[in-house]
Amino acid sequence: MAESKYFTEEGLQKLRDELEYLTKVERRNITQAIAEARDKGDLSENAEYDAAKEAQGLLELKISKLKDLISKARIIDESKIDKSKVLILSTVKVKNIKNGMEVSYTLVPEKEADLKSGKISVNSPIAKGLLGKSVGEKTSISIPAGNIELEILEVSR
């Protein structure tokens, strides 16, 4: 599955911060671990050295993927988003018709989803069921636990 290339300014900054941490801190730590393992003698039978070299390879792969993702990233222009409908970056207050419970979600790009803070991926079943809807509309959404009936109470940015 292709990774999302759309980010909020905040989400893209988090990626840049992670890249900086990996290149400045983690790279140095792995280089140090390799040097320490090398100092322990025969490299052909040194499991510590092999593990450190493998960790280095995985780190470099992660750095490479992150650089590629950042280079292709596009910032979502919030000023061009229709505020009357549920779209990406919308904060939506919904009511579960069955039990009357009200919940608010903010629809964000996949890499920025964080359910604890109320941010759900636009690719999630709930978000897909809400996209394009307006205040007052009701929708039935198929989720792993069955179907859920939601009414849209509020849409904001």
Answer yes or no: do 152 and 95 share one domain: yes
Q: Which two tokens stand for residue 109?
A: 């790009």
Task: Give the per-residue pLDDT at 26.
Answer: 95
Is 1 among the domain residues? Answer: no
Indicate whether 84 and 147 sit together in one domain: yes
Domain CATH code at residue 117? 3.10.50.30
Same domain, 64 and 126: no
- DSSP string covering 5-55, please? -EE-HHHHHHHHHHHHHIIIIIHHHHHHHHHHHHTTS-GGG-HHHHHHHHH
For residue 100, give the amino acid letter: G
Q: Which of 75, 109, 125 is the last residue of a domain?
A: 75
The answer on 109 and 65 residing in a single domain is: no
Q: Is the domain of 13 the same as that of 61?
A: yes
pLDDT value, residue 1: 37
Is the C-alpha dihedral spanning 84, 87, 93, 95 positive or negative? Answer: positive
Q: Do residue 53 and residue 117 come from a single domain?
A: no
Instruction: Count how many domains the chain has.
Output: 2
One digit per residue, the tens of pLDDT, for the chain of length 157 reads 345 677 778 888 989 999 999 999 999 999 998 888 888 777 667 788 888 889 999 999 999 999 998 888 888 776 666 667 888 888 999 999 999 999 999 998 888 888 898 899 988 999 999 998 989 999 999 888 889 999 999 888 7
DSSP 110-122: GGG-BGGGTEEET
For residues 71 and 84, state if they share a domain: no
CB neighbour class for 98 (10 Å; exposed up to 12, middle 13-18, buried from 19): exposed
Reference 37, options 47, 28, 29; nearest CA is: 47
Query: 95 and 150 share a domain?
Result: yes
Block residue for tokens 């608010």:
104
Kindly state whether residues 10 and 58 are assigned to the same domain.
yes
Give pLDDT, residue 88: 83
Domain that holds residue 24: 6-75
